[in-house]
A and B are shown apart, each in its own frame.
Chain A
């Protein structure tokens, strides 16, 4: 969706969101209307809500381009991309218009297939992509992929938009220099609770061990997340490799287990059904949960928390590498990244995108916590095979113990 960047663009965004929320139409429906009726007719009522609307000259800044087209800085000269691209991702984990815009701009046909959890996607991707050019591995898994040569090193000359990334993403621990991957979305992990059932506004992760909420507590079905939570509560590193510390964490989790209703990553289902009053959830799920159950609040435990991210990476067996690079570049475009965020509700690492992200997301502390809190978060790291085995075997003792 094109719009002029001007001093009033924030108002336009707010008005658009309000317009869509009031009429309960999705972005796709709005776009359909624009296509059918023409921008003026469809957006007329929205623009009328803002007073005036003359374009003003933007403030200086590399990302504040005053164009009416997506500010995709394509590589010059643009190499001829292949005719097709095979992408493997979650369903709906991408903006609605992102792929059509890409297809139109580069005349590439994108086949977008879906997986339902990353572990099973990795089995399918195998050592060279399993037929796919591009996928979205979790950041902690990138080192393993690189080590076995599954990923194709990125050609930065085809990715000029990479400058849009925030400074803190230029050299991530899991992939120094972003040589094989580019970050896509990031999130925090914390605690969500139903304010009507949990009335004393907890701030600590120990609330998940509170016997008052027995049989109404949920934990993520993710061994790394659960252990990280326990380790942090015990005062250790979230990525501890010390087996004694892991044993303590296991004991802590085992003490919790009788109170736990369910271990699940489908947190929207569990937290909107009334069965779970307080749960270990990902921050980005909060918005979806609150549309079902508006009483849910979120906090990052005062002991600390973790942050995770996922990436885009091109696989070594990719048959359409140029198209894949152009796709990544397209995703790094400020406005495209923002439209992804606006649709999915996760924050991206794209600093330049911030001006185009809807304010309710920017202001949501579950999705975009302030600096002070961000600094307290530990990044989940690749544990390495031996340590992963230590975690996993304890996890199986926890889950299977009966």
Chain B
């Protein structure tokens, strides 16, 4: 039920959104900066957008990054959801054990994780990085985030709902699919979104596991620090935000995103 909200709370919410988008506003503004660098406003120009479209290096890097993120999100969401559900249902030592296992990747310093995978693939498979190795690395660090987010949603999910479905003749899988999954879906979606953000922006682990020719956008961007991160990067970020916002709007208009009327 959409009650009238406390106006203070609504005002607060608007402030938080303003906080979240403040750097984005700066980012977009500076994508029109007439300078090779990102620090001082020198004037207005739109040259960075066409120059971005002509910059094959950055577009290739973006392509790799997006493909990698999609793969990482798909695999880590599936595996992570299963883990999160398991975590929510287990009790006692099994739960402690699984929880600890999930927390360890998160407490691992990125350089340790990156180097450990580098050595693992090098020693065991003579691997020198590459898209496959990168995908595996990304899935590995995303898993825990998805699992914990799904668990937050699934925790305390009354067991009787599924049992009721079974009583009514549903198979275990059907009960899962038609009862549990929809209830947990927001957790899965949230986990997927977090995983995407993690993968898209990853630098350290990616550095050590990217092979020759599989440079990602973060690698490109950080490699430019020495010589100036041009507003082209702002332009690319602006385009991504704009495209995503547009896609959201369209999806919403098509009614795909509307929450069902509660009741």
Contact = CB atoms under 8 A, between A and B. Distances in A.
The answer on direct contact between A and B (beta carbons under 8 Å) is yes
Interface of A: 24, 86, 90-93, 111-116, 120, 123-124, 126, 130-132, 266, 268-269, 272-273, 288, 291-293, 344
Contacts of B135: none
B225 interface: yes
A113 B215 CA distance: 6
B35 interface: yes
Given A123-B208, A131-B212, A269 B35 contact: no
Interface stretch (B36-44, B94-102, B163-171, B183-191): B36-44
B149 to A, nearest CB: 30
Contact of B223 (A115, A131, A272, A292): A115
Contacts of B36: 291
B40 A92 contact: no
Nearest to B127: A131
B102 to A, nearest CB: 28
Given A124-B207, A131-B212, A288 B129 contact: no
Given A124-B207, A292-B40, A90 B226 contact: yes
Contacts of A112: 57
Given A86-B212, A123-B115, A292-B35, A116 B225 contact: yes
Contacts of B128: 130-131
Contact of B208 (A90, A91, A92, A124): A124
A221 B160 CA distance: 60
Contacts of A131: 128-129, 211-212
Contact of B215 (A90, A114, A120, A344): A114
A116 B212 contact: no
B227 A291 contact: no
B225 A266 contact: yes
B213 interface: yes
A112 B207 CA distance: 14
B254 to A, nearest CB: 40
Contacts of A91: 57, 220, 223-224, 226-227
A113 B228 contact: no
Contact of A113 (B35, B213, B224): B213
A395 B179 CA distance: 59
Nearest to A129: B128
Nearest to A92: B227
A122 B212 CA distance: 15
B212 A268 contact: no
Contact of A273 (B34, B39, B225): B39
A269 B223 contact: no
A90 B215 CA distance: 12
A92 B39 contact: no
Contacts of A24: 34
B62 interface: no
Nearest to B58: A91
A149 B225 CA distance: 31
B217 to A, nearest CB: 11
A293 B227 contact: no
B124 to A, nearest CB: 15
B209 to A, nearest CB: 9
Contacts of B219: 113-116
A268 B40 CA distance: 11
Contact of B37 (A86, A90, A126, A268): A268
Contacts of A272: 37, 39-40
Contact of A90 (B211, B212, B227): B227
A32 B35 CA distance: 20
Q: Which 3 A-B pairs have the closest CB atoms?
A: A114-B223, A91-B223, A116-B222
B212 A120 contact: no
A116 B223 contact: yes
Given A86-B212, A120-B207, A131-B128, A293 B40 contact: yes
A111 B223 contact: no
A50 B122 CA distance: 59
Contacts of A273: 39
Given A91-B224, A130-B128, A113 B212 contact: yes
A116 B215 CA distance: 12
A14 B118 CA distance: 49
B122 to A, nearest CB: 8
Contact of A115 (B57, B207, B227): B207
Interface in B114-142: 115, 118, 122, 128-129
A146 B122 CA distance: 22
B208 to A, nearest CB: 6
A292 B208 contact: no
Contacts of A116: 207, 219, 222-223, 225-226
Nearest to B129: A131
A338 B226 CA distance: 20
